[in-house]
Structure 1
Amino acid sequence: MTIKNNRFFSSASFAAIEKRRQFRYARGFVWTYWSVIGAHFLAQLFAFRFLPYEAAAHDFYLRILLYPTLLMCGITAAAHAILVKAERFSFFSIFSAGTMISMIIVHLNMDVRIIAAVMLLPIFASTLFFRLSLTWITTALQIVGFCVLYRWDFWFRSYMSDFDLLAIVLFFALSTVAASFIIVSGRDLAFDLEAAMFAQQQLLVENTVMSQRSKTDALTNLYNHMSFHEFYDKAMEFADRGAPFHLALIDIDNFKSINDTFGHRMGDTILATVARVIKDRISPADIASRYGGEEFALLLFEQSFEEAYALVDGIRAELAKSYHPELDGRAVTVSVGLKSYSNTLTKENLFEKVDALLYEAKRTGKNKVASGALTV
């Protein structure tokens, strides 16, 4: 994965997370409205039953309690439906609903001097979405709602002094400025967080690449000498628990002659060719490594000895019939030593015996597999 793709993945993931977060907040607003309506219903009922209240019972239950509550419930239900069915209009519907609910609460409690401050809450609530345009729209909705109350609600206007009117206008302005500052600061924080996440992801990718490079041979893309011994140790541990394996050593015949005659560049090409044949033949469960020079080591799992033998002999045979024009039409052959794990052998003993089998294959003519049981 390239750094450019990492950047795209990081930004796309961050945007998706942000969208889900804003949807949860929007849904939370709807449930908050239901809670406010319920709390207001109970508060009004408590005030009528236990506190001095001027309204008659009939007027209270219909005009103050039932009708406004049903109206607020209808407004909230409409906002909820828009959130579910038409998400792109959800923000406007939610804050419009909040404005109308605030207007109703202010109208019903106009004798409470600071009740108009309720209309400031949607402005601050809009900062959760980190969108300046949404905050400005919310502020405009509150101003329109307040003007409607002040223009057409005589009783509300009668409770407002000139000082109250000036203070509320200033509160709207200051609240919008404060909310905008919170949004800008939040955006900077979110940008810094995204940058930190990207840097961490980039560092993780680089560490993974470096770790992979430290475990593999650059020429053949097989595991290197150090990695082989790590896998070998693990194989011995699992074998002791009942999961045996087979160890094979493969050595290119006459490799020094190839280097001396055709140069080290051609020698590298032959090494890469042999490695490719090995990789194509082994299963995903097997481990292949460049042990050193022209020698390769294989750990073969989940197969019988006969299957392991057929696998390494197939590698030998394929290489033996592949002729290289660069080598004056000659083929590259390999000699192989193969032996299965036995609980009577230590890690060192097993390797020594396979190495001795490899030497036997070399000594007795090359281009063959020596296994102690069979020699081809």
Structure 2
Amino acid sequence: MGITRLPAHLNHIAWNRKIINVFWVIVFVSVCVEVINSFFTERPLKEFYLEYVLLPTLLLSLAAFIAEWGYRKQGKYIDYIIIGVANLISGILVGVHSEMYVMYACLFFPMLISTIYFDKKKIWISFGLSLMIYLGLSAFHPIVKELNDVMAQLSMACILLTSTTICIGIMSRGYEIGQHLIKAQAEHQELMVKSTIMEKQVKTDALTGLYNHMAFYEYMDVLLFQADTYHYPLHLAVIDIDNFKKVNDTYGHGIGDIVLKRIASAIKENVTTDDFVARYGGEEFVVILNDVDEDKAFKILENIKAVVQGLEHPEILEDSVTISAGLQTYRTGMHKQAFFEGADNSLYVAKRQGKNRVIIQECSEALQI
């Protein structure tokens, strides 16, 4: 059972949408904070609302709309548009609130955004844009220029560079974890495949390729439970190859195995994929027929008997090899042992009555239809 992965471009689309939603949240929070601040400012309200509410809101909204436009176009540069808008938003916030040193932390925002793309080049582009915005504000913004001397600018450049390095480290660590998860998933899938193969080998008869004795009882438990729960018809047939010991004694077990495999294939090919066929042991087979009535089950076995009788065996001199079968229909509440014994007893009756026949068990008496 594997992990389902979206194609890389679909992951980018989903994350770009989330990032743009964050942009709109920033616009909303900015408006709310400044409206609250208006109750505590000593500046004239008209001037305050123009400088701290209306202007930044328009600029931030314009930046968000640019991101929306790029998102709808879904061009190959959409990631760079998102990164550029993130830098633009950080520059607007720093420019509007230049006297608040805490707002300079916004310059790290674009680098955090670019880390999502797991691309070093985009992180370095974010660093370059953030540094340019800061230096531009330091050169042309009157308040930023006054508050940030050359030493402060160098310090900020070092901080941005350090943050970029940290982002790249985080990205690299995330990549390592991703690779580890991929490797662990591959190992898990390989283990599951091996487990499935081993389970199949344990439950499969090596000679005929049919299920074996153990698988038969496991499968029968499940089917009996379903038959009791959903009340659909179920039938069990026990089949034995007539006089097979004579074939082995006369021609050897190697020839006997060839005949056995040929008959096993004939049985399996003449039931549906909903039915279950297993080699019970030696020259004996079991067949569970699902969701057919008793007459249909009997006809299926009669057909199998006829097909087997018509098989050609060039390895032996006998004209044909025949089978005998006992059939038991499941009755609600019947114990699985009684279910099997009913079919097995019918098989013995078929043997006693001359072989090469199908006997069906009814009301504790074995009768030939």
1:169-223 deviation digits (Å, cap 9, x = unpaired) = 1111111111111111121122112222222222222222222222222222222
- The CA distance in 1 between the partners of 2:73 and 2:285, in whole Å, is 63
2:262 counterpart letter in structure 1: T
> Taking structure 1 as reference, are residues 63 and 314 closer, same or farther at Cα in structure 2, changes over 3 Å only?
same
SS at structure 2 position matched to 1:291: strand
Equivalent residues of 1:333, 1:367 under 8 A apart: yes
**2:65 is the counterpart of 1:71:** no
Aligned to 1:337: 326
2:266 matched residue in structure 1: 277
Residue 224 of structure 1: CA displacement? 0.9
Q: Compared with structure 1, are the counterparts of its residues 191 and 244 closer, same or farther at alpha carbon in structure 2 (3 Å cutoff)?
A: same
**1:119-140: CA deviations, max 9, x gaps?**
1222133323332222112111
Pick from 357, 361, 365: which aligns with 1:368? 357
- Give the AA of the match of 2:23: Y
Map 1:195-210; keep pairs closer than 5 Å.
195-210=183-198
Shift in Å at residue 286 of structure 1? 2.2
Residues in 2 aligned to 1:348 and 1:257: alpha-carbon distance in whole angstroms:
30
For 1:120 and 1:270, the matched residues in 2 are separated by 78
1:40 and 2:47 matched: no
Compute the displacement of 1:244 (Å): 4.4
Q: 1:3 is matched with which residue?
A: none
Deviation at 1:58, TM superposition (A): 4.7
* 2:190 aligned with 1:231: no
Between 343-352 and 324-333, the greater mean CA deviation after superposition: 343-352
8 Å contact from structure 2 (residues 90, 109) kept in 1? no
Structure 2 residue corresponding to 1:318, chosen from 298, 307, 313: 307
Matched with 1:108 is 96
SS in structure 1 of the partner of residue 286 of structure 2: strand
Query: How far off its partner does 1:163 sit?
Result: 2.3
1:329 and 1:76 map into 2 onto residues whose CA distance is 88
Q: In the TM superposition, what are the counterparts of 1:1-376 in structure 2 within 5 Å? A: 13-14=4-5, 16=6, 21-53=11-43, 57-86=45-74, 88-237=76-225, 242-328=231-317, 330-342=319-331, 346-371=335-360, 372-374=366-368
User: Does the CA contact (< 8 Å) of 1:252 and 1:295 recur in 2?
Assistant: yes
Q: Distance in 1 between matches of 2:29 and 2:108?
A: 19
> Residue 233 of structure 1: CA displacement?
3.7
For 1:82 and 1:158, locate their aligned partners in 2 and report how far apart those are by CA, in whole Å: 36
TM score, norm. by length of structure 1: 0.86
Structure 2: runs of 5 or more not aligned: 361-365
Structure 1 residues 98 and 352, CA gap change in structure 2 (3 angstroms) = closer
SS in 1 for 2:206: coil
1:22-43, Cα deviation, whole Å (9 max, x unpaired)? 5443222212111212222233
What is the alpha-carbon root mean square deviation over aligned residues? 2.7
CA contact (8 A) 1:83 1:89 kept: no
Counterpart of 2:363 in structure 1 is none
Q: How many matched pairs?
A: 363
Give the superposition deviation at 1:315.
0.4
Deviation of 1:294 (Å): 0.9
- Are the aligned partners of 2:135 and 2:153 in contact in 1 as well (CA < 8 Å)? no
8 Å contact from structure 2 (residues 211, 279) kept in 1:
yes
Q: For the residues of structure 1 that align with 2:91 and 2:195, how far apart are their CA atoms?
A: 58
CA distance in 1, matches of 2:93, 2:140: 15
Q: Distance in 1 between matches of 2:107 and 2:316?
A: 88
Q: For residue 16 of structure 2, what is the amino acid of its counterpart?
A: A
SS of equivalent residue, structure 2 residue 292? coil
SS of 1:283's equivalent in the other structure is coil
> Is contact 2:123-2:168 (8 Å) kept?
yes
Aligned mates of 1:345, 1:86 — CA distance in 2: 65
Higher helix fraction (1 or 2): 1
- Unpaired runs of 5+ residues, structure 1, are 1-5
